[in-house]
Amino acid sequence: MIHQDVPSSIQDGWRTTTLDRLVGKSGVFCDGDWVESKDQDPNGDVRLIQLADVGDGCYRNRSARFLTSTTAKRLRCTFLRPGDILVARMPDPLGRACIFPGDSRPSVTVVDVAIIRQGDEPFEPRWVVAAMNAPAIRREVAGLQSGTTRKRISRSNLAKIELIVPPIREQERIADHIDEQFSRLDTGVEALKRGLANLKRYRASVLKAACEGRLVPTEPELTRRAGADRPCESVPIRYESGDALLARILAERRRTWTGKGKYKEPAAPDTTNLPDLPEGWTWASVDQLARVGTGATPKRGTAAFYDSATIPWVTSGALNSEYVDSAKEFVTQAALRRTNLTLYGVGTLLVAMYGEGKTRGKCSELRISATTNQAIAALVVQESIRPYLKVCLRSQYETMRRAASGGVQPNLNISIIRQIAVPLPPAVEQERIVAEVERRLSVADSLEATLTATLRRATRLRQAVLRSAFRD
């Protein structure tokens, strides 16, 4: 039989036992119930507790599945009671246990969750949960798992694991000590999480201030006189307002136009409800600052489009990172020639027009030559203003998400992207703004890495507490 090594110094009153013997004949040690999709009813009066609700030592309360009491009785379901121990027979992690605190509705659980309920012989549920989550028991659970693609442990194998059980008073003392240590850890973890949330808000505020002229002082007169302060320079710095810069960009686009048909002047933004800008700044549209295009999805199953493909094909999921330097999928030259695909170069800015989760509105920069699918807007922009435009687009993430239209999954479109209003400062102001943004976000990134590493250490400390309480 599988069991932990019993210490030679085991005290009087301690015993070794298994879970089924621990609960006794009057207790409960069983699997949850086989409730199929057809048995469920979103309007049901009975809660169906899922694997996702069973946390590592804590009840998560994440699911929203239900069935009727009539169905639950027909299936002869085991109704849960507050204080029941739930053990997950599937990862992750396998064998994790928590205490069910009760629910406003009568509750049952799924078949891959084992239920432990004390009977006439009392035990401390907190102690049992801690023992089940301790590293030594986790190793035994891993050794008893079965299955190929989906690992699990059967209840009969759970019953093979022996526990070294102290008297009830000692169980309570150990559980109290563990709770005290975990409470301190939880307080620290919450502070770390608040710090990470504050960093997210800080980044957004930095980007917002950058594009409102508040991050660095706007000093056009100082910029005009900068050349006089540098007599060693053969060519003094020339001040160029945002208006002049925009006119130069538009003239260059007009001069280098190679598209089909007559050149069409890009539309300026509607400034009716836009705020005033600092001196020397002007409003411009993305359409004025960049050539905006998109991609396509070549017909799936067409060998000529995908077989032996080498051209990176980027989808919106890749835009969750600041830079796109690789692709998971590829297309062929034939796909590029015969579809609406365009090969975009390094430095092209990509904006996710739709995608899962919080992808919509994200902006990334290509570090490879690649093509994209139709869920992405590709912005080909002059290198000189690219860093600032990227900052500005990142600052408008929430605004773009609100501008999306549609039902279940709102989407952006090319027209919305083109109409985005950009506060355009003089070029020398852009350089100072981008440098300050990079400096501040670099500090934030470093702090985030420290907080994240500390959070990971806190998780390991929980295991260290359990390892100390239940020595290997």
The predicted-structure confidence for 208-224, as pLDDT tens digits, reads as follows 999 999 998 776 555 55
Beta bridge partners of 34: none
Please give the Cα distance from 274 to 420 (Å, whole number).
11
DSSP string, 213-273: T-SS---HHHHHTGGGG-TT-SSPPPP--HHHHHHHHHHHHHHT--SSSS--PPPPP--TT
Cα→Cα distances 354→390, 400, 406, Å = 18, 11, 11
Q: Note the pLDDT tens digit of each residue in 391-412.
A: 999 999 998 888 876 666 678 9
**Most confident of the following: 90-94, 236-240, 245-249:** 245-249
Q: Is 160 exposed, middle or buried (0-12, 13-18, 19+ CB in 10 A)?
A: middle
How confident is residue 433, by pLDDT bands cut at 50, 70 and 90? very high
Helix residue ranges, H only, 290-413:
303-306, 333-338, 386-395, 397-403
Query: pLDDT over 90 for what percent of the chain?
Result: 80
Segment (H or E) for 46: strand 46-49
pLDDT computed for residue 217 by the predictor: 78
Q: Which of 414, 403, 419 is nearest to 286 (CA)?
A: 419
Q: Which of 157, 3, 1 is nearest to 470 (CA)?
A: 3
Please give the Cα distance from 138 to 237 (Å, whole number).
67
How confident is residue 80, by pLDDT bands cut at 50, 70 and 90? very high
pLDDT computed for residue 223 by the predictor: 52
pLDDT computed for residue 219 by the predictor: 64
Q: Which residue has the higher pLDDT, 410 or 275?
A: 275
Please give the Cα distance from 75 to 114 (Å, whole number).
17
Instruction: Give the burial string for 206-231 (b: 16+ CB within 10 Å, else e).
Output: bbbbbbebebbebbbeebbebeeeee
- Is-cis flag, bond preceding 92, omega within 30? yes
Query: pLDDT over 70 for what percent of the chain?
Result: 92
Q: Average pLDDT, whole number, for the chain? A: 90
Q: Which residue has the higher pLDDT, 365 or 227?
A: 365
pTM higher than the cut 0.75 = yes
How confident is residue 5, by pLDDT bands cut at 50, 70 and 90? very low
Cα→Cα distances 66→36, 45, 74, 91, 114, Å = 11, 7, 15, 23, 19
pLDDT computed for residue 6 by the predictor: 46
Query: Does the pLDDT value for residue 31 go beyond 50?
Result: yes
Query: Does the pLDDT value for residue 262 go beyond 60?
Result: yes
Q: Note the pLDDT tens digit of each residue in 437-469.
A: 999 999 999 999 999 999 999 989 999 999 988
Please give the Cα distance from 108 to 67 (Å, whole number).
9
- Is-cis flag, bond preceding 93, omega within 30? yes
Query: Does the pLDDT value for residue 360 go beyond 70?
Result: yes
Phi and psi torsions of 372, nearest 5° = -135, 170
